[in-house]
Chains A and B, each alone.
Chain A
Amino acid sequence: MLSYTFKKTSILIKRTFHKSRILQIALITVLWFIAQEISLLTRMPIPGGVIGLVLVLALLYFDLLSIRSLALGAEWFLAEMLLFFIPAVPAVLNHQEFFGWTGLKILAIIIVGTMIVIIGTAIVVDFSFYKLEKQPQPENKQ
């Protein structure tokens, strides 16, 4: 009887989790928090977010966590990601020296450098894709 009740409750919890975006967001945040603690305790130079990512991949791989109890929450985090970056940008106000010649130089380095990286990486990966990989599937072509 007791085990029956336990089973029923666990199914109920699972179902609620699969439907609720807020619970999933909370779960992802808790997992990140645990990973952050692991990162601090072991003094690894790897940020908590990445340890959390590997942790979740392992949990999914070993079937300890179903993808349905994270998918909605993850979707939200990925869709609203830009918001989390925005508070860092007004930091330029703390650096008066950037509103001038130095700022323009830095901007130029970032723009030209990023263009070089985008174009260079794209060309090398495209080349390697057609030279090294055995069977480029039709759906990978555009």
Chain B
Amino acid sequence: MNFELFLHYRPWLMAAEVTLIWSFVTIGLYWLSKRFHRRYKKWWTTPIIITPILLIVITLLSHTNYNVYIRGTHWLMALLGPATVAFAIPIYRRRNIIVLYWKTLSIGVVFGSILSIASAWFLASAVGIDDTIRLSLLPRSISTPFAMVISGEIGGVPELTALFVILTGIFGASFGQLALYWLPLKSKLSMGASFGLAAHVAGSSKAYELDNEVGTIAALVMVLTGIFNVLIAPLLEAVLS
């Protein structure tokens, strides 16, 4: 092998450098903020709030374009795929919940999905936002891979939707706990369902922190909501146009 030629192949080396540096920075900051969160348990110290803020500051200070950053860290986002697969294990362990409460679960998924789409539509119309952004906002409460598919189908911008989905997840996971604490709820089913429906994977992950069973229900509802939304997307498109 011609090693010299290999060394002078700059694009490859640059891609490797970008990947190494930005992956290291991202994982490092995540790891540090996790330790920080364990020490100081406040809602604003959670890694999903602190790490992105630090990352934005660092990318701005080093004059790095986001396109360069995401080229180096795209593989981390791709791991959301296997992470979705991983939800099979808790769901399988608690499959009796589906058998027992299929009625309530389906009511929750259908009602919550409609509420989510309708609330985005009416709020966006109320404050007056242009149409592409409004359409991109509609599938914001379901997990990223589903949301991007639907967004493209109904005429939104999938990349914008991905960002809105993340913001919804961050907010839903942080606020969900507070809201459910204030509401006079009695069943774990309702806590899990609202976490999974409103804040997809981020909500499910938060729900796991609170309680194993609530987390399982959240994961289940998240998956069901995603599938339900993909199925009604053609209908939604017909209604919108």
Contacts and interface: CB of A to CB of B under 8 A. Distances in A.
B176 A118 contact: yes
A85 B201 contact: yes
B104 A85 contact: no
A57 B190 contact: no
Given A81-B201, A94-B66, A124-B107, A105 B127 contact: yes
Nearest to A53: B88
Main secondary structure on chain B at its contact with chain A? helix
Given A90-B52, A109-B127, A128-B103, A49 B80 contact: yes
Interface of B: 26-27, 30, 47-48, 51-52, 55-56, 59-60, 65-67, 69-70, 73-74, 76-77, 79-93, 100-101, 103-104, 107-108, 111-112, 115-116, 119-120, 123-124, 127-129, 133, 137, 140-141, 144-146, 149, 153, 159-160, 162-164, 166-172, 175-176, 179-180, 183, 185-191, 193-195, 197-199, 201-202, 205, 208, 223, 226-227, 230, 233
B122 to A, nearest CB: 9
Contact of B55 (A57, A86, A111): A86
Main secondary structure on chain A at its contact with chain B? helix
A12 B138 CA distance: 50
Given A49-B82, A126-B190, 16 more contacts: A48-B145, A50-B84, A52-B81, A70-B86, A77-B82, A78-B208, A83-B26, A85-B202, A87-B73, A87-B76, A89-B56, A91-B163, A110-B137, A110-B167, A114-B198, A133-B104
A112 B119 CA distance: 9
B93 A67 contact: yes
Instruction: Specify which of B27, B87, B205 lies most central, judged by the most chain A CB atoms within 10 Å of its CB.
Output: B87
Contacts of A141: 186-187
A117 interface: yes
Instruction: Specify which of A47, A94, A112 lies most central, judged by the most chain B CB atoms within 10 Å of its CB.
Output: A47
Interface in A88-136: 88-95, 102, 105-126, 128-130, 132-133, 136
